[in-house]
Chain A
Amino acid sequence: MPADDSARGRLMRMSSARLALLYTALMAVLTSALLVSVYLLTRSVLEREIAIVIRAEVEDLADDLRLGGVERVAQTLRLRVDSWGRTGAVFLLADAQFHPVAGNLSEWPRDVVPGISPLSRSDMVEFDIMARERDAEVLHPVKARVARLANGYWLLVGADTSERQRVLRRFGLATLWGTLLTALCVWVLGAAYARRTARRVREYATTCETIMQGDLTQRLRVDGSRDEFDALAATVNAMLEALERQTTTLRTTFDSIAHDLRTPLYRLRVRLEEAQLRSPTSNEDLIGPSLEEIDRVQRTLATLLEISRAEAHGLTTHRDEVDLATLATNMVELYAPGMRAAGLEVTLEAPGPAMLMGNRQLLAQLITNLLENALKYVPSGGHVWVRVQNTPHEVVLSVADNGPGIPAADRAAALRPFVRVGDAASKAGGSGLGLSLAAAVARLHGSRLKLGDNAPGLIVHCDFPSTSPPITEEKPRA
């Protein structure tokens, strides 16, 4: 069980980690989508703004040109020679050979060769200018428009975009950090929440397991947070309450039925025995079988009671450390002479101690029922194998025979009370409780009784959680 537990715990932790990761990824994608779109929007707004400013300047200068010719344009530009320092505006009026006439650029940018086309809105150019800033030469990117004036002169109007690019770069960095921070926060919160969820689910699973082992008094923890888990726990607890009530009622009913049936059976037996004592010879043919019948009813009753107890009690049943190998040997010794007398061969394989926690009497009853079934159903000349194996985590008991077996379709039914499968079973006239008691005892010990095909015959398997390490090496005897 512990190995099982940790495996499930791991799985649960993994699934909650996956959940946290998924949320983180989702949040990161959403946040970055939001921030990137804001970034793109801002950039386009800034670019449009620059374009508008440049266009307005160009239009102003075009007015100057129309009104006062090149000279007026040059004059305006001379007035604005310091505009770069203030607004980042860049102007240059050059003659047809690109010699500067006026403006705040010292020369026509070398990499800008304007198209022959007249002034149009789309022919924006980009270049870098050198500027002296605190005794250092710094490159400033510029976006500009170039227009060819009517007299063949060239006019360049642009804007220094370094400020805008700095803003955008900062914005980009902020976007990146924002996305990372959001992702980190989401991941931390998600992981914490997922851990809490996993812890509670694990806690519930552990409690439910204890309950399944028969301790119906256990309840799921309600921590008063009124969250979904509390609601779930409260509902499950209400269900457990009902279940415990029903089980108690059932148990009390069973106990009183057993008592109420046994008392009249007891009196019946007492009267028959008294009749037998009074005149030992008369009606012996009636009294003897009647007494046997009473004993048979009593045995059925005891078995039913034991099944119901095994199902209802679970953990409360008395448990000790039992060596299943010794027990099986003991039981085979008990049955072997009877089986040999019935023409059956018995083989026992129990190589070493096979310790498990359990109720010795109930386990003995389990083996007894399997052996008695073999005795009932395997025809003379058959063979019965009893094996007890000790593997690292479990003790495996198997009882196999080469008798008629049970068809695969009937196996599940064969484990239910009062079900007799096949013609042989009807003829053998058992109580129909043997296998269902065996199955109940197996369940009580954390195992499951499995019926299989021994080809030919029946094989019954039971694996119990072991309490001892297996014997790995057999020491040769001196």
Chain B
Amino acid sequence: MHLLLIEDDAEAARFLAKGLRESGYVVDIASDGREGLFRATEGSYDLIIADRQLPHFDGLSIVAMLRKNGRRTPVLILSALGSVDDRIEGLRAGGDDYLTKPFAFGELLARIEALLRRGNLPEVTTRIRIADLELDLLGRKVVRGGKAIDVTSKEFQLLEFLARRAGQVVTRTMLLEAVWDLHFDPQTNVIDVHISRLRAAIDKGFERPLLHTVRGAGYVLRDAG
């Protein structure tokens, strides 16, 4: 996977690139808007990470120009501007995701993964199976080991989001955005309570847990075995 990082803060760019390379990505760095736009149009990248405030061209203009030229490359915008309106502006310009600085590296990694895999998701899925857990997306039913599990509709939405990204780390903010459509961080860890209830529903009484907590990042649904 080939990523382009457009970031004028050299230290942050170096750290992000290092972390991303350690996670198995090939990363090119562009240090200003003009170079970023040039590379983004010339090269073929799987994903572009663009800072919003850049010399020459800002991140939003880069996204807008790419989209105007018909490039569908996913773009993740990083920004020090984090208000509700800034976010909407970023997504309207054609950005696929928006992350406010400062963010945890784990959050960035999870979002990159989600964006890269988005293209691979089969659109029409009616059933998802992870180990002995089975989700019926039409009937909104959960079965594990042949036993029907009762979940609330929100718990089902949570589980579906995790199941569609089985094996991927999903962060709390991603869950808040996807399941509750909230684009800000509440002060308390409300998501943790929901996850522990979901865990009690699907993992309790089974030998192998499927819903795992990834420290400092979020949660992952996977068959650990």
Which residues of A pack against B, CB within 8 Å? 255, 258-259, 262-263, 265-271, 273-274, 277, 291, 294-295, 298-299, 302, 305-306, 309, 313, 316-318, 330-331, 333-335, 337-338, 341, 359-362, 364-365, 368, 372, 375, 430-431, 434
Contacts and interface: CB of A to CB of B under 8 A. Distances in A.
A308 B104 CA distance: 26
A338 B11 contact: no
B120 interface: no
Contacts of B197: 337
Given A273-B104, A334-B190, A259 B84 contact: no
B132 interface: no
Contacts of B16: 270
A318 B82 contact: no
A414 B15 CA distance: 42
A332 to B, nearest CB: 11
Contact of B185 (A267, A299, A309, A431): A299
A333 B154 contact: yes
B101 A306 contact: no
A432 to B, nearest CB: 12
B88 A262 contact: no
Contact of B81 (A255, A265, A313): A255
B141 interface: no
A335 B154 CA distance: 12
A248 to B, nearest CB: 16
Contacts of B88: 318
Contact of B101 (A255, A262, A335): A262
A212 to B, nearest CB: 20
The residue among B103, B182, B185, B187 with the most chain A CB atoms within 10 A of its own CB is B187
Contacts of A277: 19, 22
The residue among B83, B87, B100 with the most chain A CB atoms within 10 A of its own CB is B83
A338 B193 contact: yes
B180 A318 contact: no
Given A270-B105, A295-B102, 12 more contacts: A258-B82, A259-B81, A262-B80, A262-B100, A263-B80, A266-B103, A270-B12, A317-B85, A334-B194, A360-B181, A361-B87, A430-B187
11 contacts: A259-B80, A262-B100, A267-B12, A268-B102, A318-B84, A334-B182, A334-B194, A335-B190, A359-B85, A365-B184, A372-B187
B110 to A, nearest CB: 14
B139 interface: no
Interface in B52-80: 53, 80
Given A258-B81, A267-B9, A267-B12, A302 B102 contact: no
A372 B188 contact: yes
A446 B128 CA distance: 46
Contacts of A267: 9, 11-12
Contacts of A360: 181
A375 B197 CA distance: 18
Interface of B: 9, 11-12, 15-16, 18-19, 22, 53, 80-85, 87-88, 100-105, 154, 180-188, 190, 193-194, 197, 216
B186 A372 contact: yes
B101 A309 contact: no
A337 B189 CA distance: 11
B184 A361 contact: yes
The residue among B9, B103, B193, B216 with the most chain A CB atoms within 10 A of its own CB is B193
B201 to A, nearest CB: 12
Given A299-B187, A430-B187, A359 B84 contact: yes
A302 B85 contact: no
Contact of B182 (A258, A305, A364, A372): A364
A266 B12 contact: yes
A294 B84 contact: no
Given A263-B101, A273-B105, A334-B190, A258 B185 contact: no
Contact of A258 (B80, B104, B183): B80
B127 to A, nearest CB: 26
A434 B188 CA distance: 12
A266 B9 CA distance: 10
A317 B89 CA distance: 11
B85 A313 contact: yes
Contacts of B154: 333-334
Contacts of A294: 102
Nearest to A433: B187
Given A265-B101, A277-B19, A318-B88, A337 B80 contact: no
Contacts of A298: 100, 102
Contacts of B194: 334, 337
A270 B5 CA distance: 15
Contacts of A337: 190, 193-194, 197
Nearest to B84: A361
A117 B28 CA distance: 137
A267 B100 CA distance: 13
A295 B22 CA distance: 24
Nearest to A362: B84
B195 to A, nearest CB: 10
Contacts of B11: 267, 270
The residue among A270, A335, A372 with the most chain B CB atoms within 10 A of its own CB is A270
Nearest to A308: B83
Contacts of B185: 299, 302
A331 B154 CA distance: 11
